[in-house]
Amino acid sequence: MVENSEYKNKLISAEEAAKMVGSNNVIALGGSMSFAHAIDMHLAKRKNELQEVVVSTFIDVLPYEFLKEDPQCEVFKWMSGFVHLGCRAFSKEIGATIYLPNLYYDVPRITREVHGGKIDISYLVTTQMDEHGYFNFGITCSHMKALAESSKKVVVVVKKDMPWVNGGYDETIHISEVDYIVEDELPTPCLPFTLPSTEQDEMIAENIIEAKLIENGSTLQVGIGSLPDSVIKLLKEYDFKELGLHTEMIGDGTMELIEEGIITNSQKKIDKGKSVFTFTIGTRKLYDFINRNPSVATYPVEYTNDPFIISQQPKMFSLNQAAQIDLMGQVNSEQIGLLTPTCKLFQISGTGGQLDFVMGCLFSKDRKGKSVLALYSTYNGSSRILPILPQGSAVTVPRTMVQYVATEWGVAYLRGYSIRDRATALINIAHPDHRDWLIKEAQRVGIYPHNYTPPAGKPENVLVKRD
């Protein structure tokens, strides 16, 4: 048993913990649903006392107090590994300077090898301490242990309602590795299951199922949102069996597949019988479901998102969303380019695990891996399938690694096909109102020979087409 005296000696208030931050410090506040909000609230109040404080975050689901207090980042120099909904407005105002480009599976190594010893304080959200002196990182394993090992001081922010999640490794930290403890009475943040699916979501999901990209025994990676939830709904309706789960994020939809016996993990070669993930976003029901549940396992992201681990999963299926794709197959999922001469680059998300899973499927040992990049064909009436990506767009997935692309209008397969054949396939799954324009633009930029018109009918590398 760990003596209570050690715990008591390290116990401080959230206000005291925030006062530890000095000018020119580098601090990490966590991210996703494991962001240290109690510290954030007190830190924001200290804006006028500090200078040049680098604040590191990731998966910015909820808005931060330090950004509300300092939206221009004059004092708090925000650095994000993945901008999300809660902070996109701040990102749009500041520009892409706040983003730290990364492959998600590489983040623990980046933390240790590049930032090791340079982080003054990491505030890590955890469960309560167990009888052996361990705190569990709960719903966000990710790279939390790497942050602890790379920081001069470690403060754990303990939440009473944080679920204890069984893991493979690096899911806990011992009190001997902790400098200070804060007890946070704020509840662990939850998000509602999802927004209702749109007609576009349902069309894309139906196209994916019709293309037979998922089969019995497939291992799944799907995210959270109305499109993944539409696919999950169809997996129930079509009576899929013996599915596995190896993903970066588990949500309420995948929880339901486990509860209903559709996900069993019985066909997996590694982590057999376990649903594997690195972080969670969802409802309280989901948090209670994963609490000490032996059928799930959390790992650091260096394991869950390692392409060579992913490649060993049977019939690996990966679904991720994109913002834009050009006719050569270059995919942008994270940064809006210079749409006007005065427009700043706008970081809307990050590379995240998208490329990790694209590579994992591409390298699949059983040669049955399938990565799908899905996007709505239009946004505000404009085509998301473009002749070329706009200036300043990020290439999240290079054209050399793209397999399947899905829209409401069909599913195209790009790997191994020429630029001309790729363009023809993508035009076939573009919105019908934009197909003639795309043909003319393909001729103009040299993707098609001058005055070339693609033949009528469905190309061989279009699996599903709607008109």
Which CATH number fits the domain that encloses residue 434?
Answer: 3.40.1080.20
Q: Is the pLDDT of residue 144 over 90?
A: yes
Note the pLDDT tens digit of each residue in 239-294: 999 999 999 999 999 999 999 999 999 999 999 999 999 999 999 999 999 999 99
CB-CB contact of 120 with 126 (8 Å): no
Mean pLDDT of the chain: 95
Task: Give CA–CA dist 412/428, Å, rounded.
Answer: 8
Residues 14 and 55 in one domain: yes
Residues 116 and 208 in one domain: no
Note the pLDDT tens digit of each residue in 218-239: 999 997 788 999 999 999 999 9
Q: Is residue 192 in a domain?
A: no
Q: Is residue 107 in a domain?
A: yes
Q: Is the pLDDT of residue 296 over 90?
A: yes
Q: Is residue 3 in a domain?
A: no
- Of 152, 184, 216, which residue sits at a domain end? 184
Task: Name the CA radius of gyration of the chain, rounded.
Answer: 23
Q: Is the pLDDT of residue 342 over 80?
A: no
Q: Could you count the other beta carbons within 10 Å of the beta carbon of residue 137?
A: 30
Q: What would the mean pLDDT of 398-409 be, rounded to a whole number?
A: 98
- Paired tokens of 227: 């499109």
> Among candidates 373, 282, 275, which has minimal Cα distance to 320?
373
- Paired tokens of 297: 């396992």
Task: Give CA–CA dist 38/123, Å, rounded.
Answer: 10
Q: Is the pLDDT of residue 1 over 60?
A: no
Q: Name the percent of the chain lying above pLDDT 90.
A: 89
Domain that holds residue 386: 199-465
pLDDT at 450: 87
CB-CB contact of 122 with 148 (8 Å): yes
Confidence of residue 194 (pLDDT cuts 50, 70, 90): low
Q: What would the mean pLDDT of 296-305 be, rounded to a whole number?
A: 98
Q: Is residue 61 in a domain?
A: yes
CB-CB contact of 336 with 96 (8 Å): no
Phi, psi at residue 385, to the nearest 5°?
-90, 120
pLDDT at 337: 85
Q: Is the pLDDT of residue 23 over 80?
A: yes
Residues 66 and 157 in one domain: yes
Q: What would the mean pLDDT of 389-418 be, rounded to a whole number?
A: 97
Instruction: Write the DSSP string, 321-340.
Output: E-SEEETT--EE-SEE--SS
Residues 221 and 140 in one domain: no
Q: Is residue 141 in a domain?
A: yes
Confidence of residue 2 (pLDDT cuts 50, 70, 90): low
pLDDT at 343: 73
Domain at 34, CATH number: 3.40.1080.10
Q: Name the percent of the chain lying above pLDDT 70.
A: 98
pLDDT at 341: 61
Task: Give CA–CA dist 33/282, Å, rounded.
Answer: 9
- Of 141, 157, 184, which residue sits at a domain end? 184
pLDDT at 422: 98
Q: What is the DSSP letter of 141?
A: -
Amino acid at 246: H
Q: Is the pLDDT of residue 458 over 70?
A: yes
Q: Is the pLDDT of residue 195 over 80?
A: no
pLDDT at 192: 77
Q: How many domains does the chain have?
A: 2
| Cβ neighbourhood burial of 315 (10 Å; 0-12, 13-18, 19+) | buried
Residues 163 and 263 in one domain: no
Residues 159 and 218 in one domain: no
Residues 301 and 450 in one domain: yes
pLDDT at 58: 96
- Of 158, 184, 210, which residue sits at a domain end? 184
pLDDT at 307: 98
Residues 387 and 342 in one domain: yes
Q: Is the pLDDT of residue 68 over 90?
A: yes
Q: Is residue 193 in a domain?
A: no
Q: Is residue 4 in a domain?
A: no
> Among candidates 232, 281, 240, 280, which has minimal Cα distance to 256?
232
Q: What would the mean pLDDT of 376-381 be, rounded to a whole number?
A: 96
Residues 312 and 454 in one domain: yes
pLDDT at 339: 65
pLDDT at 390: 93
Q: What would the mean pLDDT of 360-380 be, rounded to a whole number?
A: 97
Residues 172 and 208 in one domain: no
Sign of the torsion formed by the C-alpha atoms of 306, 83, 77 and 157: negative
Q: Is the pLDDT of residue 412 over 90?
A: yes
Residue the block writes with tokens 């090791």: 116
Q: Is residue 194 in a domain?
A: no
Phi, psi at residue 197, to the nearest 5°?
-65, 145
Return the active site residues.
Answer: 248
pLDDT at 225: 83
Residues 230 and 150 in one domain: no
Q: Are strands 180-184 and 11-12 parallel, antiparallel or unpaired?
A: parallel
Residues 286 and 384 in one domain: yes
